[in-house]
A and B are shown apart, each in its own frame.
Chain A
Amino acid sequence: MSSDGTQSIIQALRADGEQLWQTTIPTMLNNAVPDGFGGLIVTTCVSGSPLTVMDLDATGQPVWQVQSAQVRGYGYICYAPQIAVDGSGVAYIAEPTNAGLPSITEAYPNTSIQSFQFPPSIVNNTAIQCCVGPPMVNTDGTMYVEYEVRNTTNNVITSDTLYFYNGTNGQPIVLGSTTQDQALLAGPIIPDGQGGVLATWTISPSHSVLQYPYQAADVTNGVVGTPYNLPFSPLSVAFGQSPTLVLGENGTAFARGTTTTSINGVLTPVDQIVSFNLSSGAPNWTYQTGAGSTLSIMAVISDGSLAVNDSQNGVIQISTTGSATPLTGALGSVPALSWKGAWYLSTAQGISGISLPLQVDDADVWSTMGGNPGQNGLPNASCGCLAQAVQTPIPGGPKTVADLRSIDSLPEMSVSAPVPPNCPICALQSPQCTTQGSGPTYLIVIGDEGLNNPNGNNYDVGYGFGLVAQQKANDLQAQGNSAIACRVSTVQQFSNALTQNGVINGDVIYYGHSGLMAFGKPPTAWASELFVGQGSGDNTNVAAYNITVVCDQTLTPPCNINNYLSSNTAIRLNGCDAALSTGQNDYYAHTPTTIAQILSKQLTRKVYAYDVGLYFSNLDANHDTYFNGIGRTGPSTLPDYLIPEGSPRGKPNPLVCTAQACGKQ
């Protein structure tokens, strides 16, 4: 915020603090969320001007914007809409009340906008739009939102119905209805972890407060389960104020809200957190703080416990049985989670990292407020770096609903699946090679597909590397080149591919896994490596400890790389993070370096590699419309490209690496 309070400044920073861009916009409201493509969706509002929601892309340029209309008799109203973003970057903007936006606006990354209105309420014979709850996107990509339709005569609510809207089928179902003089206020929705959702709302009589005004029900396959009370007894309820929710494990959810307790005989509002059964609402435990203290849910932890911040007492970990363990003293603000899983603290002095013994439950799809560290209403997504599933096509295509469902349940395309059509490279077994085309010779080296690791990342890309290698070979052949493609699983095979295929006068192109090997638990050291083999053992990797095996100069006669690679040949590593520096010594090299630099030193050639993750797409890096591969499966047939994570309009180029350093081209 500028010093005169009239402008907001947005800065985009890399994780290492380097500023990417900065822009100045009118005063922002406090509802900004990531757009899922490296950009930011912000809302600005200036008195006398339309409220504007806009998407700034990863370079700070506007992608789309939505503006509110004037409200008759009130002009432009500043009332922050609530926003959720799905995995493909579609933003769902919900109008909470009658403040000038349509009920729901859908803004697409390709800049198209569409919107629609829910049926209006009739208030004293006047049709007005009211009211819509916060949208969310479930694990299946469906957007859900609640909306209220009420009829009021002489300021008395004569009927009120609360609907639950499914953005995929467009069909609303009734969550609750009443003919009493009471409002049914839309509340937040979270996944139930079983494919359904937990919907919440508030019953608000016009002239009183219920003992338990907050309601919840599990909604599965369009059927609303039996509603139950959430055990909070506030002194009052208000529009837009509902308990905040996160999802636990084994059918458990957590809610945080205000309730009332007797302190020295005086009914006093206090903050409370409840663990409850999703289906029945039965509480597992409750935790209350003292008067004047504010509780904030931080996250569900991997052991099923809950991390909570108490404004007066600091961070507390509450076990699955409800016992609380203090971890810190009062911190002055609530620790927040970064996308990398680290905790940070934002105070008046700035933002700083904070070390907490709290590992967030990554298996939980809604372990933090708003579903993920960006709180944009999308279930938590893990690292997408070459962890995409590649689907096995069902012969003849899916025929039944069960077929369609089974597609989602298939973990990956195993290499035992049929070889994709028109992909002879996909059929290679280590250390086989194949050649196509004629002309200047390029060498394509393809590593193992990877495994579905027990540590939560499925790195089995099936035929993914074979497909992108075939794509490259076809493209090279079409350009008048010869492409030799070799499958490798060991460092020796990697070396043989370089030295047993005649003179390579084009480039050497690697498709396979790469990145960091972590040492220790938690990691205290790292090594940059090519993971050519999916197994474990000294020869399954290429790293500083065995780099001398690559064109071994200790043999008799010594290997001379100049006999195999032309002086202009470059090595192009198409794997994750092969040029990513940790800033610390490589475990084996004993100096800060990367596998790209290590290879450059050994082969005395320039090496081009990325310091970001890669993902599969049927479009090349210039045409792909996504930021990364999270939530999407890779192609199972040609065309197939391995492209870097980054803005659709600004994918990073590989860094060029020598033995000394990697830098931008």
Chain B
Amino acid sequence: MVMKRLFIVLVAVLALRVSAQSPLGSGLSPTSLVERLWKEATEGELLTPDGWNRASRFFVHHDTFAENSVLRVVSNNWGIEHSSVHNDSAEVVLEYWEAGTVDASLRYTPPTKTDFYKNAVVYHLILAPTHWTMFKSDGKVITGKEERTGPDEWQIKEPTGLPWTTVNTAVRYVLEKREKSKDPVIRKNADETLARLLKLH
């Protein structure tokens, strides 16, 4: 009888592990977490459903990856300006420059021009329980979030927002999309977008 119960529990745990991905928290400090997020963005991780979902571990709330959404482009050059921690909340300020957007037709829109020398994004983080992000069988669509008792991890309160990456990775993204497309309009848009992105840094 005892063996039978243990078997049931093991099957249940195995089933859970098969259907869940990204089960672990980041274990990072607030500053390291934001840097890790931006490094993943720099590497283009946020441009694919898998990478997008992996980044869910950084956020309290996570949005489903939107195919064909607008891609936000930021400067290659970014860095943490300041951070502070108060008990179970933290604030991380990251410097960067907006570099525009690229839509699903690979059309580029420049950023809003400002008179400010530098721009910053402020991330507010909380120390919250790690969560397991559950996906459907295709491994892409999030079914919901299950919170488990475990070590608290720093997580970003702000929404994930649009997929974003840096200028150099955006160039590669547009190049690859252009090569895959036979639509002359998209290819023309891509050429114009590349010409503009290559002037940025």
Binding site for B on A (CB under 8 A): 250, 302-304, 340-341, 359, 361-363, 382-383, 385, 450-457, 459, 513-523, 525-526, 529, 531, 535-538, 540-541, 545-546, 576, 588
Contact = CB atoms under 8 A, between A and B. Distances in A.
A515 B200 contact: no
Contact of A537 (B79, B111, B119, B122): B79
B119 A517 contact: yes
A453 B75 contact: yes
Contact of B97 (A455, A515, A537): A455
B111 A536 contact: no
Contact of B110 (A302, A452, A513, A515): A302
Given A521-B121, A540-B79, A454 B116 contact: no
A520 B114 CA distance: 12
A515 B116 contact: yes
A454 B192 contact: no
A523 B112 CA distance: 11
A517 B80 contact: no
Given A536-B78, A538-B80, A531 B118 contact: yes
Interface string B138-159: 0000000000000000000000
Contacts of A456: 110-111, 113-114
Contacts of B80: 537-538
Nearest to A541: B81
Interface residues of B, number: 35
B188 to A, nearest CB: 10
B192 A250 contact: yes
B119 A521 contact: yes
A569 B85 CA distance: 38
Interface in B81-108: 81-82, 93-100
B117 A454 contact: no
A301 to B, nearest CB: 10
B51 to A, nearest CB: 23
Given A517-B116, A518-B118, A536 B99 contact: no
Q: Which of A302, A525, A535 has the most CB of B within 10 A?
A: A302
A540 B95 CA distance: 10
A302 B74 CA distance: 17
B109 interface: yes
A408 B44 CA distance: 35
Interface in B159-173: 167
Given A523-B116, A538-B80, A453 B122 contact: no
B115 to A, nearest CB: 5
Contacts of A383: 115
Contacts of B78: 536
Given A535-B77, A538-B81, A515 B95 contact: no
A450 B201 CA distance: 13
A518 B81 contact: no
A516 B117 contact: yes
B120 interface: yes
B201 A576 contact: no
Contact of B122 (A382, A459, A515, A520): A520
A455 B119 CA distance: 9
A454 B81 contact: no
Contacts of B100: 454
Given A359-B112, A455-B113, A537 B121 contact: no
Nearest to B122: A519
28 contacts: A304-B109, A340-B115, A341-B113, A359-B112, A363-B113, A453-B75, A453-B97, A454-B201, A455-B97, A455-B98, A455-B112, A459-B117, A515-B117, A516-B115, A517-B95, A517-B118, A518-B119, A519-B121, A523-B119, A526-B116, A536-B94, A536-B118, A537-B80, A538-B81, A540-B79, A541-B118, A546-B82, A576-B117
Interface string B39-56: 000000000000000000
A457 B192 CA distance: 20
A177 to B, nearest CB: 38
A541 B81 CA distance: 8
Contacts of B119: 455, 517-519, 521, 523
Nearest to B83: A538
Given A514-B117, A538-B82, A541-B81, 11 more contacts: A362-B113, A382-B113, A450-B117, A454-B99, A455-B98, A456-B113, A513-B117, A517-B118, A518-B116, A531-B118, A535-B79
The 5 closest A-B pairs by CB, nearest first: A536-B79, A454-B99, A537-B79, A362-B113, A518-B116
A625 B113 CA distance: 28
A287 B63 CA distance: 37
B79 A518 contact: no
Contacts of A459: 117
Contacts of A450: 117
Contacts of B77: 451, 535-536
Contact of B82 (A303, A341, A455, A588): A588
Contacts of A514: 117
A519 B201 CA distance: 21
B100 to A, nearest CB: 7
A457 B113 contact: yes
B112 to A, nearest CB: 5
Contacts of B98: 454-455, 521
Nearest to B96: A536
B38 to A, nearest CB: 10
A415 to B, nearest CB: 15
B182 to A, nearest CB: 21
A457 B110 CA distance: 12
A525 B93 CA distance: 12
A545 B83 CA distance: 9
Q: Which of A453, A517, A545 has the most CB of B within 10 A?
A: A453
Contacts of B116: 515-518, 523, 526
Nearest to A452: B201
A598 to B, nearest CB: 14
Nearest to B76: A454
Contacts of B96: 536
Contacts of A451: 77, 201
B95 A536 contact: yes
Contacts of A541: 81, 118
B81 A536 contact: yes
A137 B167 CA distance: 34
Nearest to A386: B117
A302 B82 contact: no
A528 to B, nearest CB: 11
Given A454-B200, A456-B111, A545 B82 contact: yes
A531 B200 CA distance: 20
Q: Which of B80, B81, B94 has the most CB of A within 10 A?
A: B81
A454 B111 contact: yes
Q: Which of B82, B97, B122 has the most CB of A within 10 A?
A: B82
A454 B167 contact: yes
A302 B113 CA distance: 9
Contact of A531 (B112, B117, B122, B167): B117
Contact of B114 (A250, A452, A455, A531): A455
A456 to B, nearest CB: 4
Nearest to A359: B112
Contacts of A518: 114, 116, 118-120
A602 to B, nearest CB: 17
